[in-house]
Amino acid sequence: MIAIFAGGCFWCTEAVFQRVKGVGEVTPGFCGGFIKNPPYREVVQGRTGHAEAIKINFDPEVVSYKQLLEVFFATHDPTTLNRQGYDVGTHYRSAIFYTDDLQRQQAIAMIDDLNAAGTYNDPIVTQVAEATAFYEAEKEHYDYYNNNREQGYCRVIIDPKIKKLLTDYKDLAVT
């Protein structure tokens, strides 16, 4: 099955979901925009309407879509509009691009439950939208964290997200 999430920089979300049991391929790219085949430089300038996203191929016999949603919400800030930390712009928005009505229902229910539980200090602003065409990012964005672990961005921004996965979702994490 396929899941498409945008949780800010796709380097972060790719690194997290590569470490989830039942997840096969994780592809960084762009979704939710209005032009075909957007190049990275156009996306980050806010010219295309796309979000940096990842397409996840997963085995629902091993990990459910609901579990993927739980990891998604736990490893980014879904309460900041068009921003993740220092990364600012519509391309860094929090979004779930559903591929069928069940995914849509599960995403909305998860948001409602998290808001009702007061999980975050502010309301969740994650966009829930039907998946549009997904465009793969340029190859230099693939496996970014795995290939650049010592880079400052990876150590400061991505490492804590992976630590959270390994600590709070150890039953789902690949060790």
Q: Which of 9, 12, 31, 154 is catalytic?
A: 9
From residue 121, how far is each of 70, 108, 117, 143 by CA, in Å?
Answer: 17, 19, 10, 32
From residue 112, how far is each of 56, 86, 116, 175 by CA, in Å?
Answer: 23, 27, 6, 31
Residue 9 is a catalytic residue:
yes
User: Per the structure block, which two tokens stand in for 149?
Assistant: 């672990």
Catalytic residue positions, numbered: 9
